[in-house]
Copies of this chain bind each other. A is one copy, B any other.
Amino acid sequence: MPPDAQPDIQTLAIVGVGLIGGSIGLAAKRRGLARRVLGVGRQQRSLDEALAVGAIDEGFLQPKDAVPRANLVVFCTPVDLIVEQVVSLAPVCAAGTLLTDAGSTKAQIVHGIEGRLPHGVAFVGSHPLAGSEKHGPRFADAELFQGRLTLVTPTARTERRAVDRVSDFWRSLGSRVKELSPEDHDRALALTSHLPHLLASALSGVLPPELHELAATGFRDTTRVAAGDPSLWTGIFVQNRAAVLAALDMLLGRLHSFQDAIDRDDRFALDTLLAQAKRNRDALGT
C-alpha cells in the first residue's frame, strides 16, 4: 500500500488466533491493511501470545464483543466449528460486514452457511495453502502468505462483489488467489493435503520406539505433517469424508501395484512406477 493510502479495512476481526489467524493479523498490521485488528480466542493465553507478538491490537474471549465492530471477519477456527460460529454471529454483524474463513475443507462450510445469513452480511469461503505442523500464535509469520496460493470458493449464489473483496484481501497479504467451486476444492485438497496427512500419520504410527534412532531424513520428511494437531485433522477427515476415501482408494490401488511388482520381482514395473513418481515430484520443485 502506498504510504498515503488509507487502510481498506477499518476493523479486522480474527476468530481463532492460532498460527494462521495470528499470521493474518501480523501480515495485516505490517502491511497497514486494517486500522485495528481484534482477536478472538478461547483461551486468554493464546490472546496474550497474539498480543505479545503484535498479531492483534485487542483480545476477546467472547466473539460477540469483537465481531460487531468489524468490517471483515476471518474465521480461523477448526473446520467443524466454522458453520455454527458464522451463522450464530452473523446477526450481530453490522450491515456490509464481510465474512470469510481459512478452513481446509469447503463444501460443508460453504453450503452449511449459504442462505442462512441476514441481508447485508456476506460469506465467501477461503483456504490459504499455507501453514505448518506448528501451532499457536507464537509461530505467527507476517510473510506466511507471501507467494502462496489462496483458494476462494464462491458458489452461483455468492455475490460477485464479496468474492472480489475477499480475493483482494488475500492478495493484499501477499497471496495469489484462485477460484474453485467448494466441491472441486475438496476433491483437490483430499489428494494434495488430506491424503498426505493420512499417509504420514499411518507411517508415523507404525514406527516402533526401538527404531526411532534409525529414522533418518527420509522418514522425517515423509512423516513431518503427522505432528499436526489431531483434533483439527479429525475434523478435516470427517468433513471431507467422501473425497478423502476416494483419494485413499486411489492410493491403495497404487500401493497394491508396488506390492505386486515387488512380490513378482518385476524390476521393469517397479522402475516404471518409481520413474513416474520421480517425474511428478521433480515437476513440483523443492
- Residue ranges of A at the interface with B (Cβ–Cβ < 8 Å): 129-132, 148-149, 151, 178, 188-189, 191-193, 195-209, 211-231, 233-234, 237-238, 241, 244-245, 247-248, 250-252, 254-255, 258-259, 261-263, 265, 267, 270-271, 273-278, 280-284, 286
Contacts and interface: CB of A to CB of B under 8 A. Distances in A.
Given A214-B149, A217-B132, A278 B241 contact: no
Given A222-B199, A230-B274, A278-B228, A215 B284 contact: yes
Contact of A224 (B188, B248, B281): B281
Contacts of A230: 270-271, 274-275, 277-278
Contact of A265 (B213, B219, B241): B241
B192 A215 contact: yes
A211 B234 contact: no
25 contacts: A129-B214, A148-B216, A191-B208, A192-B211, A196-B203, A196-B218, A196-B219, A199-B255, A200-B222, A202-B254, A202-B273, A205-B254, A209-B283, A220-B284, A221-B224, A222-B225, A227-B278, A231-B271, A238-B262, A238-B270, A241-B262, A241-B263, A248-B262, A252-B252, A255-B255
A130 B275 CA distance: 22
A19 to B, nearest CB: 12
Contact of A205 (B201, B241, B273): B273
A241 to B, nearest CB: 6
A68 B194 CA distance: 55
Contacts of A198: 255, 258
Contact of A280 (B130, B205, B213): B205
Given A238-B267, A265-B238, A267-B234, A216 B200 contact: no
